[in-house]
Structure 1
Amino acid sequence: MTTHTAEPVEKSVRRPRASLVSLRIVLVLHAALIVAQPILAGYFLSGNVDAMNIHSPIGSSVWLVALIQFVVAAIYWLVGGGRSWPTVLTAVLFVAEFVQLVFGYQRNFAVHIPLGTAIVITVVWTTVWSFRPTARLSRREAKR
């Protein structure tokens, strides 16, 4: 008589794949627009007044990119099995970018410039993180 020992069956770990690719695409777009903003402001301050014709519409619409990023980050988290913090961070970015828009149109540079710096750093950092191997980990793997 042959006895077989039952080997523990490992549950397949759900890792974000398509949702991570989507998040990366939106993050790269978001980062490109955000990084362009201080460059365009620099051109404007150097005397190229036409740079504001590009800076202003990007600033008026970039918070909408953050809204799209929020939806994609939520899908990465809830459907893809990724981590929750990119969704929370994107919600904060959405609010910060809207506040940035308001202070920009008010020409309140005491808030607009430091807030813009924080937004650029946050978006670029999140974009870089999304291409690191840890971004592919599931919630369960990330907690280990």
Structure 2
Amino acid sequence: MTPQQQQTLIDSAIAARGNAYAPYSNFLVGAALLTDNGGVVAGANVENASYGLTLCAERVAAGAAVAAGARGIVAVAVATEGGAAPCGACRQFLNEFGSAMTVLCVDSASGRVTREVLLSELLPESFGPAALGGTRRP
């Protein structure tokens, strides 16, 4: 990932955070993915009164990326107040698209990366396509 691509991800995640729908927690999250075909796709968290139906920004962005034809993710930027890391469910969901992806945790107020780590480090000994006897299907 180039410095320009990284900055685009950060800016896109912060912008997406502005569209988050979080009337219950008021915890706004934006995510932006760099796909294997070089595209950038963003998403925001969408809460629901039935909390279990809430969608995290990372999963919204990944679904949009798949709908646009992507099958791999090179990097993800997640923008929150303070720069929180993706939740466990999002780590597992993103793992489907490549455990070697770079995860950028971004403080939305400053635009500063608070942590840069590989997904495989956030989700060690992960369950993924190989556990099912194969690789991902295109």
TM-score after normalising by structure 2? 0.30
Q: Which is helix-richer, 1 or 2?
A: 1
Q: Which has the higher contact order (CA 8 A, sep 6+)?
A: 1
